[in-house]
Structure 1
Amino acid sequence: MKRSAPQQAPEVQVETSGQLPPDAAAYARDKVRAVLGQTREPVLFARVRLNRTANPAVERPVTAQANVDVNGRPARAHVAGQTATQAVDLLQDRLAARMARLAEHREARRGRTPVPGPHEWQHGSEPTHRPDYYPRPVEERQVVRHKSFSLAWESPDEAAFELESMDYGFHLFTDADSGEDSVLYRSGPTGYRLAQVHPSPRPEGSVAVPLTVSELPAPRMNMAEAQQRLEATGFPFVFFADDSTGRGNVLYHRYDGHYGLITPAQ
């Protein structure tokens, strides 16, 4: 079968904020277009956001984020660098990895390649380029973003693909086998960890990704208790069962130093 040719590189929207070099936007546009021009599916949307924080305490003050839609499938990359050029170069590499993962998944679904094995899901040291958290005082932190949506019913393998293609630090979903609200996150250099409202054992060999499962149920608590737990542990997020609904929620640290909250739609 004849392989389709790469699509014409799309227009890329670039938004900037903070003190950046005059050519930063054009550099980011060219680098992202070079990645997207290699895909064999139409890119319906592409946007890059560049920001330089004025806080001198931040070691990598320039953040770069790309959001794209490849034929209806979203992908995302988010990095930080010491300079605009470094951040954009890191973004280009990270976005290229996201695009390769989407292409592999598309081919696997079409039956042209085997379903990815554990070695194909390795994420290595990619998270080392994530942005630094703004050191906002605890008393100033608030929930400034609350997202509520119907959780996808997925397997841990599908959740891992979603986490990697969207460059998330965690992914909240409903386990397709057990029906339990669950969160998947990276554990170690190549593995993943699964936590559930009510943990259920998984048959050996039923998951392709290297996965460990927490044996502890999600703690049942209210928002104030979740915030206290988040600050006490120092973790980037806390997974908990809402004390009124029993559904799995995630409260997390945003890069601006505030909190974000994700809840399932009732």
Structure 2
Amino acid sequence: MEVEELEVQVTTRGDVPEAAKQYAVEKVTHLARLTKRPILFVQVKLSLEGNPSRERPALAEASFDVNGRHLRAHVAAHDLTEAVDLLTDRLRRRLERSTHRMDPQHRPPPGNGRWRHGDLPTQRPEYFDRPVDEREIVRHKTFALAPMTCEEAAFDLDMLGHDFYLFTDIETGADSVLFHPEGSDHLELMQAADENRVPESCSAPVVASTQRPATMAVSEAEERLDVSKEPFVFFVNVETGRGNVIYRRYDGHYGLITPA
């Protein structure tokens, strides 16, 4: 697809001016010139929160499908122009890392920092502190967990910009979650197995978590998340025996991810 033919799907929430939408389209279209691989889909979401207590009310989110590989970023800023600039800068870094990762000549050696999580806390959206009795699971995603290596999971985590990544470890066959501990440069791996074990072949800075996922019902996992300050809870679903993740959404509700 030629860059000129690239269609950018833009959705908005709040009082988002037309000029901000056009600015976002121009920025991401220019960004598409950085890769020779076909871009199959681009979606941009712009939001302007009306709550005056929000320090950074402008939110920008984008998803790129680059020849079947997904890149994603989500930022908050004082105004929409700043949000779009932060968004495209973050996507640019991920697009460059994605290009390097696909080229064996650019494969990063262990410990060189390419896997480091790039989202600064001051640029991330604020969590809405919804009262506990109002919280509920408003999104339930079920999908097949493709078996992959720990290193591949680390790469996908970096490209998507998430706090965690649920996958099936190709070596152990265990449902696993890779995540960024707060204030740390490394990743942690937790597995629904007899032990947490990081393969020696993994070049990403990953350490085995000292925690083990508990076996419980979804309702119990939701209660655990209610009383904790953690962004998610990884647990083994007592009904299915599979690893699930319940996580906090920025709107104060919860999301649930379960393997198909």
TM-score category of the 2 structures, normalised to the smaller one? over 0.9
Separation in 1, partners of 2:213, 2:165:
15
The aligned counterpart of 1:146 is 140
The aligned counterpart of 2:96 is 100
Task: Give 1:115 shift.
Answer: 4.8
Structure 2 counterpart of 1:27, which letter? Y
In the superposition, the TM-score normalised over structure 2's length comes to 0.92
Q: CA RMSD in A?
A: 1.9
The aligned counterpart of 1:248 is 243
- 1:161-172 alignment runs, 5 A limit: 161-172=155-166
Q: Which runs of no fewer than 5 residues in structure 2 stay unpaired?
A: none
Task: Give 1:168 shift.
Answer: 1.3
The sequence identity of aligned pairs, in percent, is: 46
The aligned counterpart of 1:156 is 150
Matched, 1:220 2:215: yes
> What secondary structure does 2:21 align onto?
helix
Task: Give 1:32 shift.
Answer: 1.1
> What secondary structure does 2:106 align onto?
coil
Task: Give 1:128 shift.
Answer: 3.6
Separation in 2, partners of 1:115, 1:73:
19
Is contact 2:177–2:191 with CA below 8 Å preserved after alignment? yes
> What secondary structure does 1:162 align onto?
helix
Match of residue 237, structure 1, among 225, 229, 232: 232
Separation in 2, partners of 1:189, 1:36:
32
Matched, 1:13 2:9: yes
- 1:26-37 alignment runs, 5 A limit: 26-37=22-33
CA deviation vs aligned residue, 1:177-218 (integer Å, no higher than 9, x gap): 111111001134421011111253546732111111124321
> What secondary structure does 2:85 align onto?
helix
The aligned counterpart of 1:176 is 170
Match of residue 53, structure 1, among 36, 49, 58: 49
Structure 1 counterpart of 2:187, which letter? Y
Match of residue 80, structure 2, among 76, 84, 90: 84
Is contact 2:76–2:125 with CA below 8 Å preserved after alignment? yes
Structure 1 pair 43–234 and aligned structure 2 pair: CA distance change class (3 A):
same
Is contact 1:31–1:92 with CA below 8 Å preserved after alignment? yes
Separation in 2, partners of 1:256, 1:204:
37
Structure 1 pair 135–73 and aligned structure 2 pair: CA distance change class (3 A):
same
The aligned counterpart of 2:190 is 195
CA deviation vs aligned residue, 1:145-184 (integer Å, no higher than 9, x gap): 0011111211111101111111111100011111111100
In the TM superposition, structure 1's runs of 4+ consecutive aligned residues that sit over 6 Å from their partners are none
Structure 1 pair 72–210 and aligned structure 2 pair: CA distance change class (3 A):
same
CA deviation vs aligned residue, 1:43-71 (integer Å, no higher than 9, x gap): 11111110111222222111111111112
Is contact 1:249–1:261 with CA below 8 Å preserved after alignment? yes
Structure 1 counterpart of 2:166, which letter? L
Separation in 1, partners of 2:48, 2:167:
33
Match of residue 115, structure 2, among 99, 117, 121: 121
Separation in 1, partners of 2:223, 2:78:
32
The aligned counterpart of 1:259 is 254
In the superposition, the TM-score normalised over structure 1's length comes to 0.90
Q: Which runs of no fewer than 5 residues in structure 1 stay unpaired?
A: 1-5
> What secondary structure does 2:230 align onto?
coil
Separation in 2, partners of 1:116, 1:8:
33
Is contact 2:119–2:161 with CA below 8 Å preserved after alignment? no
Separation in 1, partners of 2:25, 2:66:
17
Structure 1 pair 124–145 and aligned structure 2 pair: CA distance change class (3 A):
closer
